[in-house]
Structures are given as C-alpha cells and as structure tokens.
Amino acid sequence: MTFQEKVNTDGKYQTIFAKVVKKHGGRLTSERKTLLHTICNMQGHFEAEDILSALKKQGHQVSLATIYRNLSLIKDAGMIRRVSLTHGDPSRMQFECTWEQQHHDHLTCIDCGKKVEFNYSAIEVLQETLAKEHGFILTGHHLELLGLCPKCQEKSVTPLTDIQTNQIAKIVRLDGGKEIISRLHDFGLYKGHLIRLIRRAPFGGPLLIEEIHSKAQVMIARKLAEYVFIQETADE
C-alpha cells in the first residue's frame, strides 16, 4: 500500500489511458495524469484511500469520488486489476498494478487476510493445457489459493487436553522430543490422524480417544496428551 517512484507514465501509458478516457467521453486532464502516475507507482495491494493518502503527501487535492471514477478507467486500460477480498468487508475494493508486471497468483489467509504473491511455472503450463482441451484461448487468469497462514495455524491449534467429548479433531503436531513422540506413536497417535474424545476421566484422569478411520481406542494420560496438538474439524 505504499507509493514509490518506479514507473514513468509519460508516453505509452498516457496514450493508452487517453484512448480509454476519450472512449468514455472524457479527456486526459492534468489531474488525470497525476492520478495515473500515482496509481501506477503504488506497491502491493491498495485501496482508493491509499491512493488519496499518497496524493495528499505529494501536495495534490483530489476527491475520493474522482479516484473511484478513474480507477474504473485505469482498470479498463489494463494497468491495474481488482484483487478479490476474502477477509473483512466484501464491499471494499483492493487493486494491484499489472502493467508490464510479471504475472503472479495469490495465497490468501482466510483468517487474517494476509496475501502472498507467487509464480509457479507448472500452474501456468497446466492452465494452458486445460484451456486447449476445452477449445479456449486464454487472455488471462486470476488464481487464489485459500488457507491459513502459519501465524493463524498456530492460533487455531490447541492441546489434546482441551478437546471436548465427542469432538472430532485432527492431530497437527506432536511435541516433546523423539522419546515422547515415539510413545505417542505406540498409542497410535500420528500427525494427520482424525480422533474423537470418547470419555474424559474425572480428577485429571486419562482420556479415552478413538482414531476415526481405524476405530481403534486408546487410553492416554493427561500429561502425555499435553504433547499432542489438534485442530477442530468436522471431517470424517
């Protein structure tokens, strides 16, 4: 969401934008040139308010309504694209610059909204192959992979001792070193397994756990269960 002088919008940038503006019955004013220059120099993902802030820092007075009107035109000129928003207010609009930029896709955290840009050649090849199979000629694509970033994964992980009766959970981590992990394996507890709490003994007693797929049951002491970390899930 920051501004950095990286693109000179003289020449072809202005020529292309001027054609789009003219098509919509307008003209390329000095205000539009300033706006175009600022937007094409925005870094990362940005919103109209970020553009307004960048313009103010440069000493320009442009209304938010003017920015929104011209964002649509600059998008039509192929210089920016709208980025899907999977976190927060869905009515918010985020953009990123695409003009003469290397194509990239996104990993998006569904919890905090963090976006990671990536480019993976195998995906590019596969989508071209898929398009040909269906008789399509690709003109572009937007790929977004949804999941939980490392920080949000940590937030959603709890020790096995916190599991509720009949709750289904996935084992996501085993701690305690090689000896403890080996003991947990002896109980049939492995990373990735789905488990269910059948019964919790009173007064800090052991937990009776069922492994969902094998239906095997195991009694595990509370102290040992502290080294097993789980995420709640509804999958079976």
Smallest CA-to-CA distance from 144 within 114, 172, 185 is with 114
Q: What phi and psi values does residue 228 have, to the nearest 5 degrees? A: -105, 125
Give the residue numbers spanning the domain of 36.
1-101
First to last CA, the chain: 42
The Cα angle at residue 229 between residues 177 and 176, in degrees rounded to 5:
10
What is the residue whose two structure tokens read 């040992």? 224
Distance of CA 175 to the CA centre of its chain: 28
Total structural domains within the chain: 3
Per-residue model confidence as pLDDT tens for the chain (236 residues): 454 555 555 577 788 888 989 999 999 999 999 999 898 888 888 989 999 999 999 999 899 999 999 998 998 888 888 876 655 555 578 888 876 666 778 788 877 778 887 877 888 788 888 989 999 987 767 777 888 788 877 777 889 999 889 999 999 889 888 999 999 999 999 998 999 999 999 888 999 999 998 999 999 999 999 999 998 875 55
How does strand 228-232 pair with strand 217-220? unpaired
CATH number, domain of 107, equals 3.30.1490.190
| 80 shares its domain with 48 | yes
| 168 shares its domain with 196 | yes
Q: What is the dihedral of CA 46, 47, 52, 57, to 10 degrees?
A: -20
